């Protein structure tokens, strides 16, 4: 299950997510609306069983310790978490206090995802982040002292060359904090963001494809060399510390979604809520369904999506053993170039880090209706 908490203290320069910038977070209103949507979605006697729960945003930590406790109480009225369930909360470093961590642990949180993004003061200021590099280090210590054993950090690479930042230094500082998991995201330019407007008027030049690839592969080499598993396009983990929640998405598992902009998928139908917080809350509190739209996946959609999701992971996908010769001929140049690996006996195809940079090129070719897998 995914729960979207949209509140942020400030919009980051690159962000086009469904967020609501609020100086004072309307905790009571949000929780009342969340309870209303939950009752609307799961009104029967059988509660939804979930093996993972992810509180994302926005910035869920903006609800405060007590707010997260109340949120979890609301969810447990209709949701049954499996024993040993992974419960993740996203947080900004400046929201992490000993009191908040104690409340999160009491509420059942087992995993913390910190939005570090960078350790360079200039880069953080350019991104419009509200925390400092020192606050990230402090937050890690507080979380550890408070009993959160599973800790992930987010970092952003491929910043414009004009932004004063050393990517190798950021990686080194992240590793020095000894997290269990790292999520690395290449900066993308979205038109509706401050960054998009800066690029449109020529004030900023986005990183080149070569710079993107160079920093991505540098991260792969540094982390793999340190014993980390590069188990998904953007995800690195120490052995045994992979994100179970995200792994569910990549395996095509059904998932529930609550909150503004949240998506839900049952294996065939995907639906998503309206993104604006005020509109979502008003509709739910009036007893109306806040769904924005639905999509029924065709057989072709499901093939493309399965290929894309599976090839994002180190495990890859298994080709039909009776696949037509042209399919294997199509893959052969990728193997020869070092972009892919193909097990001739099992038919398992997986991509290398270089191949992941070209994932969007391969999937449409493999998903051709003439293919048998």
pLDDT of 243 higher than 90: yes
**What is the average pLDDT value for the chain, to the nearest integer?**
93
- Specify the pLDDT at position 322: 55
- Whether 371 has a pLDDT exceeding 50, the answer reads no
Nearest residue to 236 via CA among 154, 141, 119, 166: 154
Q: What tokens were used for 279?
A: 């509109």
- Listed in sequence order, the residues at least 6 apart from 262 whose beta carbon sits closer than 8 Å to its beta carbon are 2, 3, 4, 272, 273
Q: List Cβ neighbours of 179 (8 Å cut-off, separation of 6 or more).
A: 140, 151, 152, 153
| Among candidate residues 102, 104, 54, the one with its CA nearest the CA of residue 79 | 54
Separation CA 189–CA 105 (nearest Å):
36
What is the value of pTM for the model shown? 0.94
Closest listed residue to residue 292, CA positions, set 266, 261, 269: 261
Kindly give the pairing relationship between strand 263-265 and strand 269-273. antiparallel
Question: Helix, strand, or coil here: 357?
Answer: coil
On the question of a cis peptide bond just before residue 58, with omega within 30 degrees of 0, the verdict is: yes
CA 245 vs. chain centroid, Å, equals: 9
CB atoms within 10 A of CB 40: 15
Please name the helix (run of DSSP H) or strand (run of DSSP E) that holds residue 104, with its range, or none. helix 98-107
> Mean pLDDT, to the nearest integer, of 3-31?
93
Question: Could you tell me how many residues make up the chain?
Answer: 373
The predicted structure's pLDDT at residue 372: 45
- Give the range with max mean pLDDT: 171-180, 190-199, 345-354: 171-180
Reported confidence tier of residue 373, pLDDT bands at 50, 70, 90: very low
Residue 119 CA: distances (Å) to CA of 14, 75, 97: 17, 35, 19
- What is each CA distance from 39 to 2, 63, 66, in whole angstroms? 16, 21, 22
Confidence class for position 33, pLDDT limits 50, 70, 90: very high
């Amino acid at each position: 299950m995914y729960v979207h908490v949209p509140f942020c203290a400030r919009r980051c320069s690159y962000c086009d997510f469904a967020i609501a910038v609020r100086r004072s977070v309307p905790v009571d209103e949000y929780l009342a609306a969340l309870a209303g949507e939950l009752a609307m979605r799961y009104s029967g006697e059988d509660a939804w069983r979930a093996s993972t729960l992810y509180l994302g945003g926005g910035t869920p930590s903006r609800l405060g310790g007590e707010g997260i406790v109340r949120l979890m109480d609301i969810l447990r009225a209709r949701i049954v978490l499996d024993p040993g369930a992974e419960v993740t909360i996203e947080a900004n470093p400046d929201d992490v206090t000993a009191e908040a961590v104690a409340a999160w642990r009491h509420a059942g949180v087992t995993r913390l995802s910190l939005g570090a993004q960078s350790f360079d003061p200039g880069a953080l200021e350019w991104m419009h982040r509200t925390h400092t590099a020192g606050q990230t280090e402090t937050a890690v210590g507080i979380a550890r002292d408070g009993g959160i054993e599973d800790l992930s950090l987010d970092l952003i690479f491929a910043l414009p060359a004009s932004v004063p930042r050393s990517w190798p230094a950021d990686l080194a500082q992240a590793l020095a904090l000894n997290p269990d998991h790292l999520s690395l995201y290449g900066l993308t330019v979205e038109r509706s963001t401050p960054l998009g407007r800066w690029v449109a008027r020529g004030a900023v030049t986005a990183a080149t494809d070569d710079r993107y690839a160079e920093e991505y592969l540098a991260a792969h080499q540094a982390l793999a060399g340190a014993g980390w598993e590069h188990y998904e396009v953007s995800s690195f983990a120490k052995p045994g510390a992979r994100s179970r929640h995200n792994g569910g998405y990549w395996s095509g598992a059904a998932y529930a979604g609550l909150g503004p902009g949240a998506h839900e998928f049952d294996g065939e139908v995907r639906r998503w809520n309206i993104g604006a917080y005020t509109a979502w809350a008003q509709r739910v509190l009036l007893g109306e369904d806040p769904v924005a739209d639905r999509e029924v996946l065709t057989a072709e959609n499901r093939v493309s999506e399965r290929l894309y999701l599976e090839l994002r992971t180190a495990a890859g996908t298994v080709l039909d053993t009776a696949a037509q010769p042209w399919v294997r001929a199509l893959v052969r140049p990728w193997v020869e170039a070092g972009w892919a690996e193909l097990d001739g006996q099992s038919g398992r195809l997986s991509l290398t880090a270089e191949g992941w940079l070209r994932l969007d090129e391969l999937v449409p070719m493999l998903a051709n209706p003439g293919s048998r897998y």
